[in-house]
Every structure is written in structure tokens, then in C-alpha cells.
Amino acid sequence: MTKKESVYRRKTCRGCGSESLELVFALKPSPIGDAYVPQEKIDEEQKQFPIDLFMCKDCGLAQLSDVIDPDVLYGDYIYVTSSSMGLSQHFDEYAGKVIDRVGLSEGDQVVDLGSNDGTLLGSFKRKGLKVLGVEPAGHIASIANESGIPTLSAYFNRGQAREIADRYGKADVITANNVFANIDDLDSWVQGVGLLLADNGVFVFESYYLADLVRNMVFDFIYHEHLTSLIRLSADFSGLVPG
């Protein structure tokens, strides 16, 4: 993607690399979902982007093939986790369950990818864990830092993972909540997780599930940020070791 392009269409499955992609659901092109405009600009035309859902015939991964420049998507990102009713309590319970199941001890390190305002990491921090967030939206990362949650404003990938490991050490737990679906280059992202995890580290992620989307008719989950709709994802994590 060149600097002049705000969107491009990929030709291969981001899960397995196959070119056997079949269009299964097409929505009318629309502006970005979070691109709200003030009243005085309500009559100005907004740029529209396609929302076509494809499914890979080889691995079964459902995905959008049209990829918007992440700086366009997240440059003026407005959503903060703490604004969602019940989510703070969910993440507090989530942190407790992860600590218990993984057997974390005080001082162990948790890295949250797509950490937003640091709500989840705040729960881990209050329980005695070292925390670090990685959040691409700079102004949201600033909110987290101001609230005492150390957060890097960056897009996570292999290179970023090496830098974090060198500077902060390996992570005992890496979390990624409602962010896996937003990643275009899954190879670099997942390999980065492998590079950053400690030898016995654990990766925990939450993502919406395509079967539930269809069953509950929540088609509005298909939008520009959600590049991948999980129904099945075959991945070999055994090779994701530092190199």
C-alpha cells in the first residue's frame, strides 16, 4: 500500500495465503463506522469504503479483503473501554481468572495488545502484576499513560515485539481482546506474540465468533475494523520462537 492509497484489496487469505476466496456477503459501501461528524458538517460527503465479506475455500477463514490504512481508521479513534457498561467489571474478573489459571505471581509481566485506555491492565496492576500496553491510537495511549498504565503508542508486529522484549523483558501473559479481528498481517502479528512470550508464557485473546454472528443476526459486527471473522483458525504456534 502506497502512502497515497487509503484502501487496498488483498488477493490472498490472511490466514493461509490461499487465493481461493469466495464472496459470501456484501454490504453497501459506507463511511468508517466511527467517523462521526459534527452537525455543521452533516451535509458534507464522506468517503465510502467497501465492506465485502469473503470466505477462504481452503482454510475456512472469513474476512474482509478491502483493507483501510490503519492510520485512517485509528488516527481519530474515539472509543474507550471504560465507556462500555459492565466491561470494567468483566475485565476485573477476567484478570483474576487469568492470574489463577496461569499461576501468576506478584511482579510477573502482562502485556496487553490493543490496550485502549488500560482498563484491563489496571485490574492486573491492582493485583500486583507489572503491566505494559500497546495501543495504536496515540491519544488513547496518552489517556492510559496519564492514568498510570505504561502504554506504547505503536502497531504491534515482529519488529515491535523484539523491541519490547529487549527493553522490558519477555511477557508471562499476553492478552488481546477484540483486537485479533482487526489485524491484516496476521503472520507478523502472531509471530510477534511468539517472540515476546516467555518460554512458559500464555497468550489469551477474545474475539467475536462468526457462527454466533450468523445465529444471532448481528451483521453489524461486520465493519471496516473487523478484518477477520473467526469460524476456524488453524495455526501452528510451535514454530513461534525467538529467532
Residues 46 and 92 in one domain: no
The cell for 56 is 477462504
The pLDDT confidence band at residue 57, using thresholds 50, 70 and 90, is very high
Residues 224 and 191 in one domain: no
- Contact between 49 and 32 (Cβ < 8 Å): yes
CATH number of the domain enclosing 203: 3.40.50.150
CB-based contacts of 162, cutoff 8 Å, min separation 6: 195
The predicted pLDDT at position 241 comes to 41
pLDDT of residue 233 exceeding 70:
no
The predicted pLDDT at position 211 comes to 78
The model's pLDDT over 111-147, given as tens digits with 9 standing for 90+, comes to: 999 999 999 999 999 999 999 999 998 999 999 999 9
Candidate from 58-62, 71-75, 155-159 with smallest mean pLDDT: 71-75
Mean pLDDT of 49-78: 87
Mean pLDDT of 145-163: 96
The pLDDT confidence band at residue 213, using thresholds 50, 70 and 90, is confident
Sign of the dihedral through C-alpha 29, 216, 184, 134: positive
Q: For residue 239, is it within any domain?
A: no
Residues 103 and 48 in one domain: no
Residues 64 and 177 in one domain: no
pLDDT of residue 171 exceeding 50:
yes
Candidate from 28-37, 188-197, 200-209 with smallest mean pLDDT: 28-37
Nearest C-alpha neighbor of 234 from the set 113, 61, 63: 61
Distances in Å between the alpha carbon of 231 and those of 114, 205, 209?
Answer: 22, 15, 6
Tell me what the pLDDT averaged over the chain comes to. Answer: 87
- Contact between 49 and 66 (Cβ < 8 Å): yes
Question: Mapped to the 3 state alphabet, what secondary structure does the chain carry?
Answer: CCCCCCEEECCCCCCCCCCCEEEEEEEEEECCCCCCCCHHHCCCCCCCEEEEEEEECCCCCEEECEEECHHHHHCCCCCCHHHCCCHHHHHHHHHHHHHHHHCCCCCCEEEEECCCCCHHHHHHHHCCCEEEEECCCHHHHHHHHHCCCCEECCCCCHHHHHHHHHHHCCEEEEEEECCHHHCCCHHHHHHHHHHHEEEEEEEEEECCEHHHHHHHCCHHHCCCCCCEEECCCCCCHHHCCCC
**Cα gap 93→106, rounded to integer Å:** 17
Residues 13 and 89 in one domain: no
pLDDT of residue 219 exceeding 60:
yes
Q: For residue 242, is it within any domain?
A: no
Overall number of domains in the chain: 2
pLDDT of residue 220 exceeding 60:
yes
Percent of the chain with pLDDT over 90: 56
The pLDDT confidence band at residue 13, using thresholds 50, 70 and 90, is very high
Residues 183 and 91 in one domain: yes
Higher per-residue pLDDT: 126 or 75:
126
What's at 71, amino acid-wise? D
Residues 107 and 173 in one domain: yes
CB-based contacts of 163, cutoff 8 Å, min separation 6: none
Residues 108 and 60 in one domain: no
Residues 135 and 194 in one domain: yes
Domain residues for 73?
7-78+209-229
The predicted pLDDT at position 2 comes to 42
Residues 100 and 168 in one domain: yes
Question: How many Cα neighbours within 13 Å face the side chain of 170?
Answer: 14
Q: For residue 243, is it within any domain?
A: no
Candidate from 56-65, 80-89, 139-148, 178-187 with smallest mean pLDDT: 80-89
Residues 46 and 70 in one domain: yes
User: What's the angle, vertex CA 171, arms to CA 135 and CA 17, rounded to 5?
Assistant: 65
pLDDT of residue 240 exceeding 60:
no
- Contact between 225 and 33 (Cβ < 8 Å): yes
Residues 97 and 137 in one domain: yes
The model's pLDDT over 77-115, given as tens digits with 9 standing for 90+, comes to: 777 788 777 888 999 999 999 999 999 999 999 999 999
Single pTM value for the model: 0.86
